[in-house]
Chain A
Amino acid sequence: MTTTHAAEAPPPDGLQEHFDATIAHDQRIEPRDWMPEGYRKTLIRQIAQHAHSEIIGMQPEGEWITRAPSLRRKAILFAKVQDEAGHGLYLYSAAETLGADRDDLNQRLIEGRQKYSSIFNYPTLSFADVGVIGWFVDGAAICNQVPLCRSSYGPYARAMVRICKEESFHQRQGYELLMTMMRGTGAQREMVQDAVNRWWWPSLMMFGPPDDASPNSAQSMAWKIKRHSNDELRRRFVDMTVPQAEKLGVTLPDPELRWNEETGHHDFGTPDWDELMRVIKGDGPCNEQRIQRRRSAHEEGAWVREAATAHAAKRAARTEKGAAA
């Protein structure tokens, strides 16, 4: 990003000042406003990764649609996966207002040149995982995303308002599934605890590396793209989740987790940052499978997209001919 800045010609008089003032007054930047190239690029990267996360995130839960153990749960899962595709669409639209192209972003995703949330590289091994994803993963997403409703870029902030409403609904449904399972048989309770054990640390890693190792954070916060640091959001998530776990009757797999009277927050152990780095670099349990699935859907669907384009062109030609006659 710094090289881009160095190469960038200084903006015409007053534009930078106007941009800075807009940010300082907590007003919104809109697509037609002048913005620094760095701001534009950072936003494209962040919004695209967010969109990709929604799309890849359909896979771990989609795994269980055909196996959901009741028709009600099947309907809930269908609706959720449908919402995620919808969120992906909003977010790609928001990225397009910055001059990005959806096909290009998709290409970057399947070539591994753009990332998506590390969490979706973990497998869903039982139906309890579906509930835990709702509770932890959507919960963590909400902690991350609610502040983004005040993000300085208008289209992104507005997309987040819609997305957050739906996410919090999904989170409640996930928690309710776990509640139902915990009131059920011993085998069901074991499934829930096992899923909690497997997803807890990966969920904490969703907030990204610790603040002292997060290179883009400072600039993003100065631009008010981001509102809180990774560690702040992580702590907020832990504080929110611990009482929910107690109410549910599960233990969180962290021996260092305890309430700290002085700080008014929970102390907790350190996630395995090496594991996070490996997963982000493509070496997690399901990275290859997730990208492969996306790539094959894209490649196998090519003839369908070509047909739609060819058909649209034929129709347009016929309309033109009709108008000329």
Chain B
Amino acid sequence: MGDDALVLSQRLGEWAGHAPVLEEEVALANIALDLLGQARVLLSLAGDEDELAFLREERAFRNVQLVEQPNGDFACTIARQLYFSTFQELLFRQLAAGDSEFAPLAAKAVKEVTYHRDHAEHWTLRLGDGTEESHRRMQHGIDSLWRFTGELFEPVEGCPVDWAELQRGWLTSITSVLERATLTVPDGPRQDAWTAGGGRQGIHTEPFGRMLAEMQHLHRSHPGATW
């Protein structure tokens, strides 16, 4: 979970200075900063945050493949954000309502991810129900990332959540947003496409290694240095 937040935050960092409007520079940096904050809390529960972030190899990262997908255009970024923040909101709501050690942490994060989901939904509506071009791009983003969404609902050990319930809630929410945005829900859940993944077992997609190389390079060049 910490890896999910860390990796997505890193991807959003690549947008700095490239956003289509100034307000989105603020919004994307804000979301990335929230995710980075979540990652730091979660990684610190497991050990030293910097050791975990900068000194693990690709195979040791446990994030879902969805969050490591390259940014693509703004529509792809928004599609990834919609899928992931809707998932995170439902996940944290369940955890916040439970009595596990994650409950207080989840309760705090719910406020942040509700904002993230809301931001992604608004953009999905604007792009889906905007111009012909934006509709086409948004549909492309939705379609091309669809096969990475099945992995979100693979049960995570030690995370007391009703995963089937989570998946139902997610599909309902996503379907409703896409319909309002005049977009088509991709085919599914087809077993083969729907369950593409392996990130939780440390199996990642090709762009991930390159992303890590950039993220870890400076830290690894100065072993033992404090920053």
Chain A residues close to B by CB (< 8 Å)? 55, 58-59, 62, 65-75, 78-79, 81-82, 85-86, 88-89, 92, 127, 177, 180-181, 183-185, 187-188, 293, 296-297, 300-311, 314
Among B25, B54, B127, B224, which residue has its beta carbon within 8 angstroms of that of A304? Answer: B127
**Pairwise interchain contact A69-B10, C-beta atoms closer than 8 A:** no
A69-B23 CB under 8 A given contacts A58-B16, A311-B130: no
**Pairwise interchain contact B129-A185, C-beta atoms closer than 8 A:** no
**Pairwise interchain contact A303-B25, C-beta atoms closer than 8 A:** no
Say yes or no: is B67 at the interface (Cβ < 8 Å to chain A). Answer: no
Distance in Å: Cβ of A207 to nearest Cβ of chain B: 25
How far, in angstroms, from A304 to B131 measured CA to CA in the complex?
A: 9
Given contacts A69-B222, A71-B39, A185-B225, 17 further A-B pairs with CB under 8 A are A59-B17, A62-B16, A62-B17, A65-B16, A67-B214, A69-B225, A75-B37, A78-B13, A81-B16, A82-B26, A82-B29, A82-B30, A88-B22, A89-B23, A184-B225, A300-B73, A301-B74
Distance in Å: Cβ of A146 to nearest Cβ of chain B: 24
The number of A-B residue pairs with CB atoms under 8 Å apart is: 140
Main secondary structure of the interface of B (DSSP, over half): helix
Task: For A79, give the chain B residue with the smallest CB separation.
Answer: B33
Task: For A54, give the chain B residue with the smallest CB separation.
Answer: B22
How far, in angstroms, from A307 to B10 measured CA to CA in the complex?
A: 27
- 26 pairs from A and B in contact (CB 8 Å cutoff): A58-B16, A62-B16, A67-B217, A69-B219, A71-B50, A72-B40, A74-B13, A75-B33, A75-B36, A75-B40, A81-B16, A81-B17, A81-B25, A82-B29, A82-B30, A88-B22, A89-B23, A177-B227, A185-B222, A185-B224, A297-B18, A300-B73, A301-B20, A301-B74, A304-B21, A311-B129
Contacts of B13 in A (CB 8 A): 65-66, 74, 78
Task: For B136, give the chain A residue with the smallest CB separation.
Answer: A303
**Pairwise interchain contact B14-A66, C-beta atoms closer than 8 A:** yes
**Pairwise interchain contact B218-A127, C-beta atoms closer than 8 A:** yes
- Sort A-B residue pairs by CB-CB distance and give the 4 closest, nearest first: A301-B20, A307-B130, A307-B134, A62-B16
**Pairwise interchain contact A310-B130, C-beta atoms closer than 8 A:** yes
**Pairwise interchain contact A78-B36, C-beta atoms closer than 8 A:** yes
Contacts of B214 in A (CB 8 A): 66-67
Say yes or no: is B56 at the interface (Cβ < 8 Å to chain A). Answer: no
Distance in Å: Cβ of B181 to nearest Cβ of chain A: 9
Distance in Å: Cβ of B195 to nearest Cβ of chain A: 30
Contacts of A86 in B (CB 8 A): 26
A300-B20 CB under 8 A given contacts A58-B25, A66-B14, A75-B37: yes
Contacts of A66 in B (CB 8 A): 10, 13-14, 214-215
* Residue of A69, A79, A185, A306 most packed against chain B (CB within 10 A): A69
How far, in angstroms, from A9 to B133 measured CA to CA in the complex?
A: 49
Say yes or no: is B103 at the interface (Cβ < 8 Å to chain A). Answer: no
How far, in angstroms, from A204 to B122 measured CA to CA in the complex?
A: 45
Contacts of B21 in A (CB 8 A): 301, 304-305, 308
Among A55, A82, A314, which residue has its beta carbon within 8 angstroms of that of B33? Answer: A82
Distance in Å: Cβ of B80 to nearest Cβ of chain A: 15
Say yes or no: is B185 at the interface (Cβ < 8 Å to chain A). Answer: no
Task: For A64, give the chain B residue with the smallest CB separation.
Answer: B218
Distance in Å: Cβ of A183 to nearest Cβ of chain B: 8
Task: For A306, give the chain B residue with the smallest CB separation.
Answer: B131
Say yes or no: is B125 at the interface (Cβ < 8 Å to chain A). Answer: yes
Contacts of B131 in A (CB 8 A): 303, 306-307, 310
Contacts of B23 in A (CB 8 A): 89
Contacts of A181 in B (CB 8 A): 227
Distance in Å: Cβ of B146 to nearest Cβ of chain A: 21
- Residues 189-227 of chain B, each 1 if its beta carbon lies under 8 Å from chain A, else 0: 000000000000000000000000011011100101111
How far, in angstroms, from A310 to B17 measured CA to CA in the complex?
A: 25
Within 8 A of A (CB), among B125-164: 125-127, 129-131, 133-134, 137
How far, in angstroms, from A65 to B10 measured CA to CA in the complex?
A: 8
Contacts of A78 in B (CB 8 A): 13, 16, 29, 32-33, 36
Task: For B224, give the chain A residue with the smallest CB separation.
Answer: A185
Distance in Å: Cβ of B223 to nearest Cβ of chain A: 9
Distance in Å: Cβ of A301 to nearest Cβ of chain B: 2
Say yes or no: is B53 at the interface (Cβ < 8 Å to chain A). Answer: yes
Distance in Å: Cβ of A162 to nearest Cβ of chain B: 14
